[in-house]
Amino acid sequence: MWFDQRHQGVLFGDIRSEEHTLCDGRALSITPDVAMDFRDMPFDDGCFKLVVFDPPHLRRAGKHSWLGKKYGILGDDWRMDLQQGFSECFRVLAYEGILIFKWAEVQIKTSEVLKLTEKKPLFGHISGKKSNTHWICFMKT
């Protein structure tokens, strides 16, 4: 999603660090700057002005499917995982910092996910071929 992933202000975190060859021969490289779990981030409180939270959105995908490899798969405790993720995002976010939340409403409705945080979004936008990708903006107040 970043135009310049090497920009000095970008820090990419993911629990995975892996390389795959997809079924069409393309290479998929997941190489985070920091190996981390979004439910327990290794950062101080209030240290970021902008956080982008783009968690896995799939509950069902084959373990060897390209969708599962590319996006990851949520576990059985997905509600608790996402709730902890939101909490961590707001914890590391500075006062009046911005959280951009990206969600693909393919298997789980966005409205169900937004119930997992008490914070209310400022605005959002729906995009994608089938209008199922939601970009939602929060501000920490």
Domain boundaries of the chain, sorted by first residue? 13-139
Look up the pTM and report it: 0.88
The rounded mean pLDDT for the chain is 90
| Lowest model confidence (mean pLDDT) among 45-49, 62-66, 80-84 | 62-66
pLDDT, tens digit, for every residue of 53-75?
999 999 988 777 878 887 889 99
Nearest of 35, 1, 134, 20 to residue 70 by alpha carbon:
20
Render pLDDT for 3-26 as a digit per residue (tens, 0 to 9): 877 788 888 888 887 888 877 888
Looking at the predicted structure, is the pLDDT value of residue 1 above 80? no
Task: Report whether CATH 3.40.50.150 matches the domain 13-139.
Answer: yes
